[in-house]
Structure 1
Amino acid sequence: MNTAQRLESLVGTALDIELPVRIRAWDGSEAGPAGPVLVIRSRRALRRLVWAPGELGLARAFVAGDLDVDGDLGDGLREVWRRSDGQTPTRPTARKLADALRQAARLGALGPPPPPPSTEARLKGRRHSRWRDRAAIAHHYDLSNDFYRLLLDDHMAYSSAYFTDDRQTLHEAQTAKLDLICRKLGLTDGMRLLDVGCGWGSLVLFAAEHYGVHATGITLSARQRDFAVARVADRGLTGRVNVGLQDYREFADDSEPFDAVASVEMGEHVGEEYYGTYAAMLYRSLKPTGRLVLQQMSRGADAAPGGGAFIESYIAPDMHMRPMGQTLNYLQDAGFEVRDVEAMREHYVRTVDCWIDTFERRYDEFVALAGEEVARVWRLYLVGGGLAFEQGRMGVDQILAVKPDAGGEAAMPWGRPWSM
């Protein structure tokens, strides 16, 4: 039995699945079916799997460069998923783990646990406390404004675009998404808009420039706030657009409630125990007959709420997604009347494809900005996330809701004039 054959048995045991890929060992030997090739560069990769069996150990080994996929990562992951019938790596039983340890010993791979990659999140404190939420947001969004400027379109929109034409660029599709939100909200000149989780300010800037509104945005990311404030000044919108560094639980506006409220892919960071508080804050911030547009990722009923060990450890710690129906229940419990739901899953697949294309074309620039380890995290994140949307394990929906007045009046138009 050569090294690769021993590795094939060990890795399959550590991940508790029948390994559907070919293995190439550090000594050049190979074993397994034809197809995607998992390249194990050192014994350290095995130690990571022994000490953290399942998805986390696999992710640590990839991020650290101890293992890789030969060829296109997306094609490789897609083929692995197909051949494994959707099985995800799980923690093996004690008996299988003991067998893995014996095999690792034969390969000379036993030893102390390697330190996790430096990019792994290490949050402390009570989950979804205000301090911890700031740390979780900073872990991902405060990476570098230059990094995101390199990846995203000119709007700096870090959410699903809305493609209305096969020939559209990403920027055109993000423009279409921002315009669609404004039309669904029924924005007109002089209205007041609140954007909860405003990111780098794409929506508040667009709504002020194109719909004449007075816009307020709040974010937990200091770098996002600073970037948005600079853009407000550059575009001569001071006094029309205000962006603050604030937790949604602390937000209180001294003036009257807003005419419209939006929250674009922020609700995933709220957490299950606080989602009712978040929905109530959105409702409280609106005038009677005011509209809400909530764009939010969702998951299948059997998918991990946080997206799995890799996402939870390296990308969005403490994230919580839920099936879309549960979100609707929260909104209705808060007092909203849900008027429209638009699924955008395919739009997200194409959005991520655009990001991947930019990332791969400019990979060396991303490495220069953030380092090889961060670049490997993002390569796995973008490819794996895009695959989750492609295969329907994750979705994204745009929900339109209204706050009826005391008599039940919603002041909503008949039909869907925003789609015309």
Structure 2
Amino acid sequence: MQYAPADAHVHFALHPDHHPAVIATTTGPTADAARSHLHDFGWRSTGPATMVLARIDCEEPHYTAQAAEQLRRYGFTTEIDPALQEEIDTEWVWGNYPFPWCSRDEVREVSAAAQRIHDDIAAGRLVIHLHAHDGHTIVAVGSYKEGVRRHVHLHGEDHLRQETDIAFGTEAEAVAEFHRLYGVAVRPGPAPLTSREQAVRQLLAGKPPSATEETPAPAAEPPVAEPGEHEAFLAALFDEDRQWEKYRPFDETTVASHESLTVRLEFDHEARHRTDVAWTIAEYDGPAGERLWHATLTAGTPVPLIRAMLQYLDAPPLTTADHPDDVLHAAVWHPTSHPARTTWTAPDRTITFESTPHATADRWTLYGGENLDRAAWTMRLSAGVPQALLAELAQTAADLFPPPTRPTPRPLPAPARGLPAAVPTQRARGR
């Protein structure tokens, strides 16, 4: 039985700016009926006569072929562009797929489940409470708000995101277990969108990257100390600043005390990786007093920040601002407030200053990069650190690049990664 006359026509073609997304153009007296069916198949309207299918699993050609077949059964006329048909006919595999034992159909099942999770989050049906980085990938805890209320842990990103096998009866139980599993790595709310998620949501909102628009500048890289720069700074510190006395209890560690006997630092000469702690600095309440606060700095921390901290501890400048917020506001950094923290982000998004007022060990964090879980370097300061020192660090961070005269707009999200060229002999693509 035909559900629509043959004068309704649907043309499918690859999206010009985001492969392998697909654009469907509907024409004819019954175009509205065709659009209704396409909506059920996952397409979203981007104009009076156009709809787009954009997925995080890069399976748009496969699902386009299924939709075209269904529309033909309903009586619609469909046309598939040759380039899209070639994509439909081409078999491909994910490069470095973590489940190599899965068949092609099983891979699609995993990806389809990840797509449903993504759609539920985007639509607000699944609310993410917390996220963390477990050392390999992003994990999260959330609750479904529609139908049977479920509270789940999620593992993975994009086409690999899955629900774990753990079942929870209440939101509190799910959140408590998440805190137990991931501890200090836990962050409030959902994780930042991946580049693929950003591109998909942009397309579904009818704002595809356009070749006619000015291409956004690539994301700026955060300033990072070069190899050996910390070593050179440490050597210069003892040569030029006689207020510090050093000794080296082990070949890999240098320890130094300030002449006031209230400040102590340790430097690990073996620190190389971006997550390795290279400096540990602490201030005490007198030569034999209690520790007031401490800080840890990883191997890539820019030397100007280390110099600013040690200079402040040696002789606090009289012109230091009272609070880091004042400095960052004047430097046009972007503030963001969350229930558990407040962040200030540099205009070029290369450096972030974060305050977690309820924490003790990491009350203040300064890091380079857009994401703390993948930061190029990190400075962590405990509760008790002087506000004037924080302001001095904020000013130094702001001075690492020229401040703009007005807030710089956030660049458009980068499109999802393109597909490598096909392997001619196998008609396969690595994704």
TM-score by length of 2: 0.25
Structure richer in strand, relative to its length? 2
Larger Rg: 2
